[in-house]
A and B are shown apart, each in its own frame.
Chain A
C-alpha cells in the first residue's frame, strides 16, 4: 500500500506539515526568531511525533474506536510532559526561551493528526518512519524560517547556540554581515508571516518547475517510443 519511500517523501515534501498542511502554525510562527529556537522546538516536536506514532500504532488494536481520541490525547500529553521535564532538567535556558510553546506541543494538530490518520491504521515500523519524516520535515521548516529571520533580522546565525549545545558552542555564532544595523521587522511577528509565505511560495515554484520538467520528459519519451 504505502511504501516507505512514499512515506518519507510525504513527510519531507509533498505533505510537509509546515508548508503544505499548515498545521502547528502557532509555535511555527511564534518561536522561529532564531535558528536555535527553531531547532529546539523542532527537536521537541520530532521526539513527540515519533514517540506518539509508535505508541499509538502499538495500541491500535486495543483501543476501541469510540474512545480513540481521548486515548491519543492522553498518550501525547504524557510524552510532552516527559519531554518538558527533560528539557527543564538539562536545557533549562532553552526551556525558558521556548516557554509555553513546549507544553503547547500537545495541541499541535499535526501530532494528533498523524496519530489519527496514519499511526492508528499502520504497522509500528511504518508509523515510526512516518513520525520521523513528518517531524524532520517540520523541523526543517522551523530551522529554515529561523535562519531566514535571524539572518535578515540581525545579520548573524547560530547566536545563543550554547542554549542547546553547551558553553563550547558559544563560538559558533556566525556574524555574516559586520556593521549590520538589523532589520527588526524580520524578528518581529510580521516577519514570521512574511517569511513563511515566502517559503511556501518557494516550495510551489520548485514543485511547478519539477512538474514541467516531468511533463517534458514524458513528452520526449513518448516521441521516442513513437519513433
Chain B
C-alpha cells in the first residue's frame, strides 16, 4: 500500500473567512439558477436588493460603531446574509421587503450583538421571520412556477411590479400569484383530500412541488460540493435531513393519505437551502461533532412539526432560530471527553 506524499513546503490551504464565504456563494449558484428559471426576474431583484441593503447597513453600522469598514465588508458575511435572505423571499414581493429584511438582519441580529462571530441567531433567518410576522400578505406573493399556469412576467413588467408596485395592464395581483406547494398541500389536507389527489394538481411535479423539486435538487448539489470542499461538516445536514426523514416516515407509514412522504418534505420549501446553507452557519450553530447531529435533528423535526401543524407556510426559519437558542445547551452537554480525562458525567468522586 502506498501513501501519496508531497514534498515541502507544506503550506496550509488558505481558509480565511472571505474564501469560505465566496465558496458558499458559488455553491448557491445551481439552486439560484433553478429558482430563476422557475420564478423569473423577481428572484434576481430580491437577491440584488437584499445584498445591497445588507452591505449598506453593515457599512453604516460599522461607521457608527467606529470600526474599520473596508476589512469587515471584505469578508463577505454581510453579502452572504443578503443573498441567503434574498433566495428565500417570494419573487413578486415589493422591493422594500428584501430591503427591510436585510437591514434588520444586519443591524439588529448581527451588529447589535457585536458583529461577525457574536450573533446568537442566524441573521438571515431573523430577517425572514421579521418579514413573515410583519408583512404576511407580501410574503405570500409567489408566482406559479414556470410550467404550471401562465408564463412568467417579462423583465420590464417584473421590474415595474417590484420597484413601482405597478401591475401590468389588465391583470390583478391575485392572477399573478399562487399558493406554494406546501401551502396548497396543507389547505387541501384540511379539505380532506388525500395525498394522491393533491399530487395530481398542476402545481405539483412528479413527487413534490413543480419547480421546487429542481430548486431543492440544485441546492443539494451545491451543498454536497460545499461538503466535499470541507466548508461545512456533514453532521448538521445529515442530522437535519435524518430528523426530517424519521418523523415524516413515521407519519407517512401510519397514514399515507394525509401526511406527505419524506421525499416530498426533502424537496419542498427551503429544506435543502436550510440543511446545507442556513443551518450550517458556523456562528450560530452547535459546534461539537455530536452536538451538530442533535442540532440538525432538532431542526429537521421542528421543520416537520411547523409545516404539518403550524400556521406558517414553511418552518425552516423558525426551526433554525429555535435551535439557535438551544445550541449553547447542546454544546454544553456534548463536550467531547478530553483524552486522558474522565467522562464529565462521573467526576463526582474525584
A5 to B251, CA, bound (A): 69
Residue A26 is within 8 A (CB to CB) of chain B in the complex: no
Q: Which residue of A lies closest to B112 (CB)?
A: A197
In the complex, the answer to whether A185 meets B108 with C-beta atoms within 8 Å is no
Q: What are the residues of chain A within 8 A of B135 when measuring CB–CB? A: 181, 183-184
Count of chain A residues with a beta carbon within 8 Å of a chain B beta carbon = 8
Contacting residue for A188 out of B108, B133, B137, B138, CB 8 A: B133
A166-195 residues with Cβ-Cβ distance < 8 A to B are: 181-185, 188, 190, 194
Indicate with 1 or 0, residue by residue over B101-133, a CB within 8 angstroms of chain A CB atoms.
Answer: 000000010000000000000000000001001
Instruction: Tell me the smallest distance from the CB of B90 to a CB of chain A, in Å.
Output: 16
Shortest C-beta distance, B133 to chain A (Å), equals 6
Within 8 A of A (CB), among B134-178: 134-138
Identify the closest chain B residue to A197 (Cβ).
B112
Chain A hits for B138, CB < 8 A: 181
Q: How far is the CB of A153 from chain B (nearest CB, A)?
A: 9
Contact residues in A for B108 (Cβ distance below 8 Å): 194
What residues of chain B lie closer than 8 Å to A182, measured between beta carbons?
134
A residues in contact with B137, CB < 8 Å: 181
Secondary structure dominating the interface of B: helix
Size category of the B interface is under 10
Chain A residue numbers with a CB within 8 Å of B130 are: 185
Bound-complex Cα distance A26 to B130 (A): 23
How far is B133's CA from A182's CA once the two chains are assembled, in angstroms?
11
What residue of chain A has the Cβ atom nearest to residue B138's Cβ? A181
B133 cross-chain contacts in A, Cβ below 8 A = 184-185, 188, 190
Q: Hey, which chain A residues are within 8 Å of B134, CB to CB?
A: 182-185
Interface string of A90-113 (1 = CB under 8 A from B): 000000000000000000000000
Contacts of A188 in B (CB 8 A): 133
Among residues of B, the one whose C-beta sits closest to the C-beta of A191 is B134
Chain B's closest residue to A153 (CB) is B134
Chain B residue at minimal CB-CB distance from A185: B134
- Taking the closest CB of chain B, its distance from the CB of A178, in whole angstroms, is 15
State in angstroms the CA–CA spacing of A181 and B137 once bound together.
Answer: 10
A190 to B134, CA, bound (A): 11
Q: Identify the closest chain B residue to A184 (Cβ).
A: B134
Within 8 A of A (CB), among B201-257: none
Q: How far is the CA of A181 from the CA of B136 in the complex (A)?
A: 11
Least CB distance from A208 to B in Å reads: 13
- B136 CB contacts on chain A under 8 angstroms: 184
Q: How far is the CB of A199 from chain B (nearest CB, A)?
A: 14
Smallest Cβ-Cβ distance to B96: which chain A residue: A181
Output the nearest chain A residue to B137 by Cβ-Cβ distance: A181
CB distance from A210 to the nearest CB of B (A): 19
B152: shortest Cβ distance to chain A, in Å?
26
How far, in angstroms, from A185 to B134 measured CA to CA in the complex? 5
With a cutoff of 8 Å between Cβ atoms, the chain B residues found around residue A194 in the complex are 108
Closest to A194 in B: B108
Interface centre among B108, B133, B136, B138 (most CB of A within 10 A): B133
A188 to B130, CA, bound (A): 11
Residues in B whose Cβ lies below 8 Å from that of A183? 134-135
- Closest residue to A152 on the B side, CB-wise? B134
* Distance from A2 Cβ to chain B, minimum over Cβ atoms (Å): 36
Q: How far is the CB of B38 from chain A (nearest CB, A)?
A: 28
Question: Taking the nearest CB of chain B, how far is it from the CB of A172, in angstroms?
Answer: 26
Q: How far is the CB of B266 from chain A (nearest CB, A)?
A: 31
Measuring CB to CB, which residues of chain B are less than 8 angstroms from any residue of chain A? 108, 130, 133-138
Q: What would 16 A/B residue contacts be, using CB atoms closer than 8 Å? A: A181-B135, A181-B137, A181-B138, A182-B134, A183-B134, A183-B135, A184-B133, A184-B134, A184-B135, A184-B136, A185-B130, A185-B133, A185-B134, A188-B133, A190-B133, A194-B108
Known A182-B134, A188-B133; 13 more pairs at CB < 8 Å: A181-B135, A181-B137, A181-B138, A183-B134, A183-B135, A184-B133, A184-B134, A184-B136, A185-B130, A185-B133, A185-B134, A190-B133, A194-B108
